[in-house]
Structure 1
Amino acid sequence: MNPATALAQVLVDELVRCGLTEVVLAPGSRSAPLALAAHAESRLRLHVRIDERSAAFLALGLAKRAEKPVALICTSGTAAVNFHPAVVEASESGVPLLLLTADRPPELRGTGANQTIDQVKLYGSAVRWFAEVGVPEDRPGQVAYWRSLACRAYQRSAGPMDPGPVHLNLAFREPLIPDGDATWCESLDGDVTGPWIRARVAPPSSALHIPPTRRGVLVVGDGAVNVRRYVAAAGMAGWPVLSEPSGNGRYGDHAIAAYHHLLGDPGFAEAHRPDVVVTLGRPGLSRPLLSWLRRAPEHIVVAQDLTRWPDPTRSATQVAQAVEITGTAGDDEWLSSWRHADHLAQGAIDRVLDDAALSEGLSEPRLARDLAAALPNGAQLFCGSSLPIRDLDQAMRARRGLRLLACRGASGIDGTVSAAIGAALAHNGPSYALLGDLTFLHDQNGLIMGPREPRPDLCLVVVNNDGGGIFSMLPQASLGVPFERIFGTPHGVDLGYLAAATGTPYTLVGEADELARAIKGDGLRLVEVRTDRAASVRVRVAMREAVREALGY
């Protein structure tokens, strides 16, 4: 057996023994040994994409939803560079990826050889661990090295402390395909009982105890873990729960869905300063929330890895791997005040959103509210990281039975179609995505799939306001003449033609009462909702003003 084939087969086998079930491949020549090994492995589900960036975000979506490592394979050169945006997102959001980049052997590097660049530590500090595997050789000791390396890579990527991307750079000499000879100098077999190395995770340290008498608030941001446990504890303690959509804590009687608008009212924010705030995940959507956090006398951040914890406001007073929120209801007046204000705010928001004259059609905040409410229990909703996730945050009511995901680590718009497809493929149930038009266009290649590829049950709902709507909410909107060209960036693309080019079923929604019917169906499909940027800005301003008037501070 040639060394390239032996390394690839052993590496893939050991990763499967560790728990790998999904592999995403972007085709190429130098990666042929890995591609053939993955294709031949019946215990794996293989996904092939022609665009490396789309492939990388597909793997990210799969890993984000499955919460376990997904392997990503490409050939040498700029193919590996195209993985970088997804690697950065995976690093920032703690998503486990195994990057298997094929490379040219050392004697070809730095010579001008075709498709050869410096791939050593290509992704810099964005990976949790890097290894230059070395050119495989037919000599004793290689199998133990390869298998132990695979175990180390899988476990470092999976965590549980600080999961994220791991990069193995694999240099292959020709021949790159099997030569018909099965002999090797030692057994290529793995351990008959499982992985070559079994990692044992020590139990977490003792939880930080919070006295039950204190008036507290639980804040749930993107990427939070153990959410149900903490939401239940907050309920027992009489704490309100302020959860971003992708924090998946916006359910139950203690969920304060309108927290963004409440904390945007200076009178309410001052009157509701807590004794303690416990934060899960990475909050970052709401500026009023972040400003309010800065004034908290005690802010406890829960983080699995005590060397990397989210604290964008620099207001954390303690960081702990676990927190114990105990006791029965603490201050009934405290919780009742939050809930009463939330009720008033929700009523004011609904009146604005239901005012067709104000929105001049189906506004973006109303679309977010109605879509989140219309999805069936057990559904998954993948949110674009620009305006869609913010509209959900500001308009979505509390509800159970819906899982929300977003690429909020680096909060870019790249690769979102592919990430949503990956998450849908890993989800056991119907999936949906709410994306802006620029986000969709940025990854339209994600719709390109070969006839033999696994197909997702995913409805892509695209808000088309012909440009970058979020800039209309920022100071740039006041710049006049240059705004539309360099910030608004209208594109004039007919999304129906893009859908037709890839054979994707397409529906155009013009009125609010058409949405529920349009999103029904199965398989991959596209629903376009055309909106007006200026009208949606007016709706968002009216929401804020209506809440302040209803609160009366």
Structure 2
Amino acid sequence: MNGSTAQARVLVDELVRAGVTDAVLCPGSRNAPPAFALARAEMLGLLRLHVRIDERTAGFLALGLALASGRPVPVVVTSGTAVANLHPAVLEAAHAGIGLVALTADRPPDLVGTGASQTISQRELFGPAVRWSGSLAVPTAVTGTEVRRWRSSVARALAAATGAGAGAPGPVHLDLPYGEPLVPTAGDTGPGHDLLGPGIPGGRDDGAPWTAVARPVRTLPPLPLDPSARTLVIAGSGGPAADPGLLGGAPLVAEPSSAWWPHALRTGPWLLDHPELRPEQVVVLGRPTLHRAVSAMLADPAVAVYADPGPDGAAWTDVPGTVRAVGALRALTPPDDWTWSWGDADRAAAKALDTALDDGTAAGAPGLRLARDVTAAQPDGGQLVLGSSNPVRDVALAATPRPGLTVHANRGVAGIDGTVSTAVGAALARGVPTTLLLGDLTLVHDTTGLVIGPGEPSPDLTAVVLDDDGGGIFHLLEQGGPEHAHAFERIFGTPTGADLVGLARAAGWTAEDWSGDPAELAAYPGSGRRLLRVRALRTGLRDAHSALRGAVTAALGRL
């Protein structure tokens, strides 16, 4: 058996032994050895293979699979720009703590810098974005020594990806230079009954990974805060596991992608600016990124700020530099009048918010009502994936937090890259009906994410697209002010005029305009790939948000 085929089979065998259940592959010539090995492993029922034609899409598909499953997922690509196209997903995985494993085929080192086609210097291409990087030698002889080194490298990569090594979980990179021949030789192409085949030293007889690496148990000391003070808890992505019993009734403002969100106040983001609800201290759980009012509160020197980044070794969030201590959230016992005041304010604000969303006051912000209705429509046990920009914020501002629903969003770097692919991966990983709420620009940005070839695993995924033909979020930022109207639409609004229904149908999705029936907004078993377009205008967004803020303020004034 030639060295390339042998090494690829050993690497895939070691991935399977370590618990990898899904792998993503892009076609190429230089990565033919692992491509054949992965196809063989799937044929033997050892893993599930997903093939995509676009490396950026493939990277985010692997990220979505890893995000929803909690297991590392390899993505295998050929050399050259194919590797560079993984960089956006690697960056998202780095900042979100997701075990993405980039396996990149390469030319032999002696061809780098010679003008050889499709050859770049790719060994350190991802720089500090990866938790670990390594490169194997060009495989030639198949000896026990070489096989042990190959398996050991896979073990190191997976340890770093899962946080079993030093540091938090995250992406890793293993570069695989191959010389010719790149395809199995005669006698090595049959189905066989095991992955390795004759002539390759096996792994451990019990099927265990070559190197067992225990994930360290990290414990933080309790935060040195005053548990009886007027405390507000703010939760973002990541952080400690949700334990609402620790709150003692303290108000909780949580982002939808946080595990704490089901226990949060409905209208918390709307209440942060009100002086009568100002806390003495704030505990930050994980990494909140959505709301400017949160940033302003954390920057207030009169508020004592503490952080609990969770047990995975992630860095704590402290943009304004105000965190006094880092540790584990301890049981809180805030004053009753403090918890009652927040509860009363939340109920009054929620009533005012729903009234405004339903009576036309907020007609200029249709995304808020849509976010509320999409979230409410999902079945228990379902999954909701949120696009960046307005959709995740709309859910945070308008939806009612609820148990029984898993919510995901790419908040590591908060880009719109690969959102469709992330949702496809999340849906396939958990095997439950999944709904994706996103905007038109986010959909267009990941058009190839819609393309799932015949015979590929396909999810029950409903994409609900708010189509306001452009970048609605910019209407809510400084550049959306009337003084910038002369240039806004061309350089920030960026309309595309794309036919999203036609686009989805061309990729094999069932697609139509939403009829207005809330029941259509949820995915269900057997629903397949659906797209619902919700047409909207952007021009009233700024005024509608202002009107909603006014309605909430008026409701609080009547308490």
Say whether the fold is shared (TM-score over 0.5): yes
Matching residue within 351, 356, 366 for 2:355: 351
The DSSP-based 3-state class of the residue aligned with 1:356 is: coil
Q: 8 Å contact 1:211–1:325 — kept in the other structure?
A: no
Encode CA deviations 1:112-138: one digit per residue, 9 max, x unaligned: 111111112011111111101121121
Distance 1:95 1:215, change over 3 A: same
Render the CA deviation track for 1:17-47: whole Å, top value 9, x for unaligned: 1111110001101000001111111211100
Output the CA distance in 2 between the equivalents of 1:187 and 1:173: 19
1:114 aligns with 2:117: yes
AA at the equivalent of 1:192: D
Describe the shift of the 1:357–1:211 C-alpha distance in structure 2 as closer, same or farther (beyond 3 A).
Answer: closer
**What corresponds to 2:269 in structure 1?**
260
Contact 2:59 2:86 in 1 (8 A): yes
Which residue in 2 is equivalent to 1:286?
291
> Are positions 1:315 and 2:322 aligned together?
yes
Structure 1: state its 5+ residue gaps: none
Where in structure 2 are the equivalents of 1:51-90 lying within 5 Å?
51-90=54-93
Cα separation, 2, equivalents of 1:137 and 1:197: 23
Q: 1:503 aligns with which of 485, 505, 508?
A: 508
1:248 pairs with one of 252, 259, 262: 259
Which structure 2 residues correspond to residues 510-549 of structure 1 after superposition, within 5 A?
511=516, 514-517=517-520, 519=522, 522-549=527-554
Q: In structure 2, what is the equivalent of residue 127 of structure 1?
A: 130
Residue 179 of structure 2 corresponds to residue 169 of structure 1: no
Question: For 1:270-308, what per-residue CA distance to the aligned partner results, in whole angstroms no more than 9, with x for missing partners?
Answer: x4223x322222101011112112232142333435572
- Tell me if the contact between 2:476 and 2:541 (Cα under 8 Å) persists in the aligned partners: no
2:304–2:323 contact (8 Å) kept in structure 1: no
The CA RMSD over aligned residues, in Å, is 2.0
Equivalent-residue separation in structure 2 for 1:30 and 1:418 (angstroms): 24
Q: Secondary structure at the match of 2:330?
A: strand
Of 385, 388, 394 in structure 1, the residue corresponding to residue 388 of structure 2 is 385
Q: Which moved more, 1:296-305 or 1:99-108?
A: 296-305
SS at match of 2:160: helix
Alignment counterpart, residue 179 of structure 1, candidates 164, 171, 185: 185
Describe the superposition over 1:200-250 as per-residue Cα deviations: whole angstroms up to 9, x where unpaired. 2343235315564333232210233412x2x2321xx22121111111322
Report the secondary structure of 2:490's partner residue: helix
- Which residue matches 1:14? 14
Counterpart-to-counterpart distance in 2, 1:113 and 1:197: 37
- Cα distance in 2, alignment partners of residues 530 and 343 from structure 1: 31
Q: CA deviation at 1:536?
A: 3.1
Within the candidate set 401, 405, 418, 2:404 is matched to 401
- The equivalent of 1:412 in structure 2 is 415
Q: Is the 8 A contact 1:217 1:277 kept in 2?
A: yes
CA distance in 2, matches of 1:489, 1:307: 36
- Match of residue 154, structure 2, among 147, 150, 155: 150
Q: Is the partner of 1:390 in helix, strand or coil?
A: helix
> In the alignment, what sits opposite 2:217?
203
Distance 1:458 1:446 in 2: 12
Q: 1:81-106 CA deviation, whole Å, 9 max, x = no partner?
A: 11111111111111111100000001
1:191 maps to 204
* CA gap 1:117/1:399 in 2 versus in 1, 3 angstroms: same
Give the distance between the partners of 2:228 and 2:543, measured in 1 at CA.
43
Shift of 1:469: 0.4
Amino acid in structure 2 at the alignment position of 1:168 = L
Matching residue of 1:473: 476
Question: In structure 2, how many angstroms separate the alpha carbons of the residues matched to 1:45 and 1:184?
Answer: 20
Cα shift at 1:15: 1.3
Distance 1:16 1:185, change over 3 A: closer
Relative to structure 1, the CA distance from residue 206 to residue 528 in structure 2 (aligned partners, 3 Å threshold; closer, same or farther) is closer
Whether contact under 8 Å (2:231, 2:279) holds in the other structure is: no
Letter in 2 for 1:314: G
Partner of 1:37: 37
Using the alignment, how far apart are the partners of 1:272 and 1:357 within structure 2?
28
1:519-541 deviations in Å (ceiling 9; x for gaps):
45511110110111123333211
Task: Give 1:79 deviation, angstroms.
Answer: 0.7
Q: Distance in 2 between matches of 1:497 and 1:404?
A: 28
Secondary structure in structure 2 of the residue aligned to 1:496: helix
Aligned CA distance change for structure 1 residues 523 and 499 (closer, same or farther; 3 Å): same
Identity across matched positions, percent: 44
For residue 251 of structure 1, report the CA deviation from its aligned partner. Answer: 2.5
TM-score by length of structure 2 reads 0.92
Report Cα offsets for 1:364-403 as digits up to 9, x if no partner: 1110111111111111110001110111111111221111
Give the Cα–Cα distance (whole angstroms) in 2 for the partners of residues 313 and 232 of structure 1.
29
Secondary structure in 2 matching 1:500: helix
Aligned to 2:163: 159
Aligned to 1:233: 246
